[in-house]
Amino acid sequence: MGKFDLIENEKLRKQIEFIIECDKAKQVLRRTALTDCSRRENDAEHSWHLAVCAMVLFEYAPDGADLGKTVQMVTVHDLVEIYAGDTFAYDEQGNSTKQKRENEAANRLFGMLAEQGVFFRSLWNEFEQCSTPTALYARALDCLQPLLHNFVTEGYTWKGNHITAEMVLKRNEPCRRAMPEVWKIVEKIVDDSRQKGLLE
């Protein structure tokens, strides 16, 4: 017997179970540190931070981007990591299996819901495919946030992992396409970090 079997409304019970399952995102640690370097951030904190970024930087978003949908997208984009785990952006081996692991995780997690699951899955698919202005903006923010954290933390994630300036610029390509004004800052941060030895 499940903990929420006391809820007679089946749809509501599944929604509550999904909400509780999503709490596990707080347990998924990313490589990025908090700006005070006290610990690594988790997926839930990262997603919240991206939602804030989406609102603050929306004036630089590409034409056609939808702010409300961006916030929804960044809120759910990493939920699949509850089952698939976080894959370090620069881990070639991990990234070779990432798509398969995350697809299976999306089926399992969003399958907990009926029509709402289809909606969540469509948001996640759109983010992954990065083929709309909204998804491009969301992806750009997903790349920009760890860059800013690494700059503030003196290369916390970069150092020791042999990360080069070229790798970081390539990783942040969505930012160049989505937000040309912000891309200028990205280039300055990468150049400054290279000069300081934070990037190889």
Give the pLDDT score at 140.
98
CB distance 33 to 41 below 8 Å: yes
* Cβ contacts of 152 within 8 Å, gap of 6 or more: 35
> Alpha-carbon distance 38 to 30, whole Å?
13
Say what the pTM is: 0.95
CB distance 105 to 144 below 8 Å: no
Convert the pLDDT of each residue in 135-191 to its tens digit.
999 999 999 999 999 999 999 999 989 999 999 999 999 999 999 999 999 999 999
* Cβ contacts of 145 within 8 Å, gap of 6 or more: 32, 46, 49, 50, 53
Convert the pLDDT of each residue in 42-93 to its tens digit.
999 999 999 999 999 999 999 999 999 999 999 999 999 999 999 999 998 8
